Structure 1
Amino acid sequence: MPIISAPYEFNEDRLYVDLAPVLGIPLHLKCEGFNFAGSIKQKAALEMVEAAEKSGRLGFDSILVESSSGNLGVALSMIAASRGYRFVCVTDSRCNPATRQVMRALGAEVHVVSEPDPVDGLLGARLAHVRRLCAEDDRYLWLNQYANPDNWGAHHRLTAPEIAEHFPGLDVLFVGAGTTGTLMGCARWFKEHRPQVRIVAIDAVGSVTFGGPPGRRLLPGLGAGVRPQILDETFVDAVVRVPEPDALRVCHRLAARGFLFGGSTGTVVAGAARWLDERPPGARRPGAAVAIAPDLGERYTDTVYRPDWVREHYGPDVLESEEFRF
């Protein structure tokens, strides 16, 4: 029985869902939402905060500030509350209402940007807001998850080795691309230690991360309006872009079997299913494919799992459509 004194000391890192009996896909889903932050972002948040403390950049009078679509904001809110720091999260109108409330409950100040930058969209506007805060008050410390090597370093140190330990016969790893911290940490580790493992990045249609045209995106988490600085495509073997309606359908199919996951997980599973479907049957060995589920679904009950929200934004028949089936 673990006994902890700080919330970030707990993280269940060894739970996988076999999706073969659930959805008929030869895929194991690594569940990263079982910690007090509720997502995989706890790892990166702690790594970045501790590195800033060790370097002396983060002191008792510092004000942490970060741009986040939600999950990293929650993780930093939790860590800041535990360690006695002030924290300001700059998010945008796509952030789930429940996520904003969690951050505020943990003592964070939440700034919501609603007007997109003409070129770089809502993310560009968030980043501009962060830069203004830092320019106005030198107590602000921006961890900058989009450029901070400690973001991917957390997954290089923790996530990738854990997957490798449990799946020695791994052929392919599917990782969603948001800030690309998880993607880069895992991709770098596997290229160094098991280069035969293929790394497939899952991105959202409308994201510019891998050079696609910008477009409307309503699901927070994956995708970006500004290419992350830490991304190095030479470590990625393939990219699958997933339309948001496909992600919604997967989320609802999983929920129908009792598994409530977030929108990013729906995107990752939809992309993995499409990639696997294009492989010959003999190449789809049980236990050879793993996908990372960044979070759980409770914070998406006002969006992904609210039928009137889905109908309003994606049409009345999106969940019944036959356009995406596996």
Structure 2
Amino acid sequence: MPVISAPHAFNEGQLYVDLQPILGRSLYLKCEGFNFAGSIKLKAAIEMVETAEREGLLSQDSILIESSSGNLGVALSMIAASKGYRFLCVTDSRCNLSTRLLMEALGSEVQVISDLDSNGGFLGARIDYVRALCASDERYVWLSQYTNPGNWQAHYRRTAPEIARQFPRLDVLFVGAGTTGTLMGCARYFREWQRPVRIVAVDTVGSVAFGGEPGRRMIPGLGMSMRPPLLDESFVDEVVRVEEADTIRACHRLARRGFLFGGSTGTVVSGAMEWLAGHEKDDLTAVAIAPDLGERYLDTIYQRTWLEDLYGDQVLGVDQDLDSEEVAAGSPGAERVSRTPDRHREP
């Protein structure tokens, strides 16, 4: 039994859920929510904070500041409380109420931005606010998850090797795309690995991360209203884009079998099911990364009034009664984009 003295010292990295009995296709879901921050963002947060400490960028007078839709903000709140720093999270109105309350319970300040940027999202406005504060007071230290190499290095050093140890015959990896830190870290690692692994990025419809038209996005976590500075598409084989309604349905399918996951996980699972439906003749070992759990989404994607107000009263509808064979057919609303389809294939 581990005994720890700092909350970030514990992070379970080897728990997987076999989704075959639930969704009818072979897919292993790597669960990243079992730590005191509750998400995969703990890895990037630790890497960025401790790098800043080693480089002498932080003192006890420093105020950490970061733009976050939620999970990184919680991870930084936890680390700041543990290490004795102040922390200000700049988020927006899509951030779950429970997430904001959790950051405040950990002693952090939360600033909610309501102004939209030129792409119809909040990210540009959040970043402008951060930059203005940093220019006004030298105590602010912006870790900048969007450009900080520690974001992807955390997953190159930890997440990808964890998967490789458990699945030495891995064929395809599904990774949600937000800042693309997880995506780039895992993709870089498996580019250098002993066997080819197809990297499939899963994005949400309305995100402009891989191009395309911006659109409304109400579920925090995945998607960007600007091109992610960390993204290098040469490491990505394919992109699958998922409608938010399909994200919600995937979350509810899993919840009906006792697995309560967050919105990002629903998006990744929905995209993976659609991709696997088009490769049903292949005998593939497939893994998807689940960034967090679902408790923070109880007042949004698991709350019927919220769902019906935003997506209509048929967003779940008869889908509540789908069996595993129907679910396995994939999500008809998902869009697949091939990047380098023949780079990673072997008999």
Give the superposed CA RMSD.
Answer: 1.3
| Match of residue 314 from structure 2 | 317
Deviations 1:52-92 (Å, cap 9, x if unpaired)? 00000111111000000000000000000000000000000
Report deviation, 1:321. 5.9
Question: 1:1-326 alignment to 2 at 5 Å?
Answer: 1-119=1-119, 121-194=121-194, 196-281=196-281, 283-285=282-284, 288-320=285-317, 325-326=327-328
In the aligned structure 2, how far is the partner of 1:284 from the partner of 1:213? 35
Number of equivalences: 323
**Aligned partner of 2:33: which letter?**
G
C-alpha contact 2:120 2:216 (8 A) present in aligned 1: no
Deviation of the 1:38 alpha carbon:
0.1
CA distance in 2, matches of 1:320, 1:308: 14
Cα distance, 1:25 vs structure 2: 1.9
Cα distance in structure 1, aligned partners of 2:260 and 2:270: 15
Distance 2:119 2:179 in 1: 18
**How big is the shift at 1:194?**
3.9
Counterparts of 1:121 and 1:170, CA distance in 2: 36
Q: Distance in 1 between matches of 2:289 and 2:245?
A: 20
Closer, same or farther: CA 38–220 of 1 in aligned 2, 3 Å: same
Q: Is the 8 A contact 2:202 2:271 kept in 1?
A: yes
**Does the 8 A contact of 1:26 with 1:284 survive in 2?**
no
Q: Tell me by how many angstroms 1:120 deviates.
A: 6.0
Whole-angstrom CA distance in 2 between matches of 1:230 and 1:138: 26
Q: Deviations over 1:247-269 (max 9, x none)?
A: 00000000000000000000000
Code of the residue aligned with 1:179 in structure 2: it is T
Deviation at residue 212 of structure 1 after TM alignment = 1.6
- Does the 8 Å CA contact 2:199/2:237 hold for their aligned counterparts? yes
Partners of 1:188 and 1:207 lie apart in 2 by: 23
Runs of 4+ aligned residues of structure 1 deviating over 3 Å after TM superposition are 321-325
Q: Is the 8 A contact 2:23 2:327 kept in 1?
A: no
Superposition TM-score, scaled by structure 1 size: 0.97
CA distance in 2, matches of 1:147, 1:195: 29
The TM-score with structure 2 as length reference comes to 0.91
Q: Secondary structure at the match of 2:316?
A: helix
Structure-2 separation of matches of 1:121 and 1:298: 25
Between the aligned partners of 1:196 and 1:44, the Cα distance in structure 2 is: 26
| SS at structure 1 position matched to 2:124 | helix
List per-residue Cα deviations over 1:210-243 (Å, max 9, x = no partner).
Answer: 0021000000000000111111000000000000
- Distance in 2 of aligned mates of 1:255 and 1:284: 27
CA shift in 2, pair 1:271/1:321, >3 Å: farther
Give the Cα separation in 2 of the matches to 1:310 and 1:117.
25
- Percent identity, please: 67
Q: Which moved more, 1:152-161 or 1:312-321?
A: 312-321
Query: What 5-or-longer segments of structure 1 have no aligned partner?
Result: none
Alpha-carbon distance in 2 for matches of 1:235, 1:218? 28
